[in-house]
Amino acid sequence: MEKLYQIYQIDSFTKERLTGNPAGVITNADGLSDQQMQKIARELNNSETAFIFYSEDDTYDVKVRFFTPTKEVPICGHATIAAHYARAIENNFGTTRVLQKTGAGILPVDIIRESDDYKIVMTQGEIEVHDALSVKVQQTLTAALGINQNDIIDRWPVAIASTGHSKVMIGIKDIKMLHNLRPNMDSLAKLSNEIGCNGYYVFTMNQNETPMIHGRMFAPAIGINEDPVTGNANGPLGAYLVHYGLVTHNGTLFTFNIMQGEAIGRAGTMEVQVKIRNNKPIEVKIVGNAVIAFSTELTL
């Protein structure tokens, strides 16, 4: 029996259509097979598409699955913002908290009503910050990015960090260099298979400015040459900065703003909040706006 599916294209981390990070959202995905979801994600061709399912028990409110054009991933920041923004609009929610079941576990999402619109706060998953990558791996990585070791911020580790979906953190000194990067995507994809991490977040930082971070994220191993504005890069970045003692904070909370996507004409912003205990990150949240670019229906 055919079913009508509701599809949205949501631009996350922005209030201006056709900027920020676009995500597909299917708000009534029950009944879709894995193969159908992968085909829809490929057809929409966003970096991620979110598929929302009804809860099967009382431990969570909705289940959300995330697909890139080529594979399923456990969690996605901008598609989480998009998914819950679409649900809020559809259901005319007030301010509320939703528990979403994902590949990274059951995680809270706060929907904050502001007049006739919404802000979405995503609590991210388990924090992991690793030791610096080996010198050999770093040499391969810098060659793939077209930079050298002297371009990396002095004594800042090039290391993998995760809040549910891992990224390599690479802090560089110069914002002009950041915007002029032209990575070798084949080399980055090959390296991902070797180190078990599919994304590379290259960023600059100035703690005395707002936004504090400007960044670019490359993940060719999962079909995303460059992602415009990435929750699952900037959340782990916050954990990384606190873990390695690279920023000043009050001992309980570190909050900062980022801008990403400028180099590809899809600039967007988000706030990152890192809860701290004993000088270590214990919880990460990302805060973002969204806007519906368009919606349509699909019968399958």
Catalytic amino acids? 48
**Non-local CB neighbours of 221 within 8 Å, separated by 6+ positions:** 188, 189, 192, 193, 198
Beta-strand runs (E) in 127-223: 128-132, 159-162, 167-171, 200-205, 213-219
How far is the CA of 153 from the CAs of 64, 136, 197, 201, 267, in angstroms? 37, 18, 21, 14, 24
Q: With both helix axes pointing from N to C terminus, report the angle between 185-195 and 135-145 in degrees, rounded to the nearest 10.
A: 160
Q: Rounded to the nearest 5°, which phi and psi values hold at 257?
A: -115, 150
What is the C-alpha separation between 73 and 193, in angstroms, rounded?
15
Q: 179, 199, 186, 194: which is closest to 144 by C-alpha?
A: 186
